[in-house]
Amino acid sequence: MPARHPHTDAPRTEQAFSRLAATPAGREHDVLVEELVEAWLPMAHRLATRFRGKGENLEDLKQVAALGLIKAIERYAPERGAFEAYAVPTITGELRRHFRDHGWDVRVPRRVQDLRNKVRAARRDLLNAPGHCHEPDLAAVAAKAGLTLDEARDGMEALESYSSLSLDAEYRTFQHGFTLADTLGDSDGAYELINDREAAKQGLRQLAERERTILYLRYFEDLSQLRIAEKVGLSQMQVSRLIARSCTQVREHATRDDFERRLTA
């Protein structure tokens, strides 16, 4: 395990990095990388803690920081100077890239993510300015961030859309609670009948009054053929035949109209 500097918790790994630079890919190279990762992992984890509270699990952030540390170790060359000065921006960049690419519930373009970051920084600076006690308007944010009004508007919308709510998220009023799913409308099965009803209208108009009455009593009033026969003064057999014949006429008329519409479309 590499020794540590007496006045800092940064490990002394200069010799290990020199050996790594001179070691070709293979088992020995991998062992050196593992030793260096173990030595510098506390620093990577400290960098990860700077990003907690931003909607991501800290353990996940530590994993991202560890991956950034491995990249820094693999790419570092001793002649570049102190490893820490090279590793910190590499690990921090990896963490920022994680938030940019994975921290959004809804995937948005990179341009919009950048606008969000600029708007957030400008809004924070305006709110923290001496004597400023109210929410800055869009024009002030745009001027502070060096953006147009449209760009600032896009950034503000992205600022409010960073995370989404589950449909099971619960809201409470003074009297009762409800979820977002409770506010969603249900599918109306009647919509499926609209086309059929419209197609049948013209065919129904072609029927005699008695046939229309019989169909109305059967399919809207839900009367039996026997009850219909009593109402219109016919036998049940006659009513049955009229219903079958009328339905056939309406169906043929609707089919013909649909065929003609397709020809003229």
pLDDT band at 171 (very low <50, low <70, confident <90, very high): low
* 215 pLDDT higher than 90: no
> What mean pLDDT do residues 177-185 have?
58
Last residue of one domain, picked from the residues 141, 160, 183 = 183
Q: Are residues 135 and 175 in the same domain?
A: yes
Report how many domains make up the chain: 3
Q: Which of 2, 5, 37, 21 is nearest to 79 (CA)?
A: 21
Domain hosting 23: range is: 14-102
Asked if residue 70 lies in contact with residue 50, where contact means CB atoms within 8 angstroms, the answer is no
Residue 103 vs residue 214, higher pLDDT: 214
pLDDT digits (tens, 9 = 90+) for 38-78: 999 999 999 999 887 666 778 888 999 999 999 999 989 88
pTM, rounded to two decimals: 0.41
Q: Which of 236, 238, 218 is nearest to 226 (CA)?
A: 236
* 178 pLDDT higher than 70: no
Average pLDDT score over the chain: 78
Last residue of one domain, picked from the residues 121, 156, 183 = 183
The residue count for the chain: 265
Residue 116 in tokens? 């969000």
CA distance 64 to 203: 69
Residues 6 or more apart whose Cβ sits within 8 Å of residue 256: none
Q: Are residues 167 and 115 in the same domain?
A: yes
